[in-house]
Amino acid sequence: MDRRRYKWFYDHVQCRYYDLLLKWCFLPLGGERNVRRALIDQVDWRPSDTILDMCCGTGNATFAIAEAVQAASQIKGIDLSMGQINAARRKNRFPNVGFEVMDASDTSFPDQSFDKVVIPHALHEMPRPGRLAVLKEARRILRTGGTVVVLEIDRPPSLVWRLILGLWWFYWLPFNIETATRRDMLKQGVARELSEAGFRDVSKASRCNGTLQVATGRK
């Protein structure tokens, strides 16, 4: 799907069902709230952090971050889809959280604007050049010593669990537009692509029986 049609789909269709779809996807892992907490709790949040949630969707990860940090932190969520951003704004109850429509691969933020950049469950939708462009942009807008946090799917070691999740997450659908990019992301490795984008001290932690991963790197 080309970029224009992809954006139209999220603006007019996906934004209506996105939250319901997330609840469905996270259900076998213990529910969305528990999963987000298990991932976000891996990060060393600081009270004075300025935080960017790239590809924030309808803001669920942004709100989970807001619950994990103190009100002194300033949190911004960006997404290419106006439909997704409008949904996030309607749900927002945090005074230190704001949302904007913006391209994650080419933001308008100045260099060294944030202490942490979080990219939740979005890279697997992008081809490799797009993933690297987003990661390089994340590095540009991070302050020296800042941290990028990538929350993504992983490849569970259990064949049975992979089959169950493949059915539950609709991998079997022939028109699943994420199949090729998801497979390529797992083949290349998120940690490896973080290193390619110029990050140092790269690490990866698997969660939820190897189903999800938290990959981090420092500028």
Q: How far apart are CA 104 and CA 58, in angstroms?
A: 15
List the CATH number of the domain containing 98.
3.40.50.150
The structural domain count of the chain equals 1
Pairing mode, strands 74-79 and 200-207: unpaired
Report field, pTM of the whole predicted structure over 0.85:
yes
First-to-final CA distance of the chain: 33
**Which range of residues forms the domain containing residue 190?**
3-218
- Per run of 10 residues, the mean pLDDT along the chain (length 219 residues) is 74 85 93 90 89 96 92 92 95 96 96 97 95 98 97 94 92 86 97 98 94 97
Vertex 160: Cα angle to 156 and 162 (nearest 5): 40
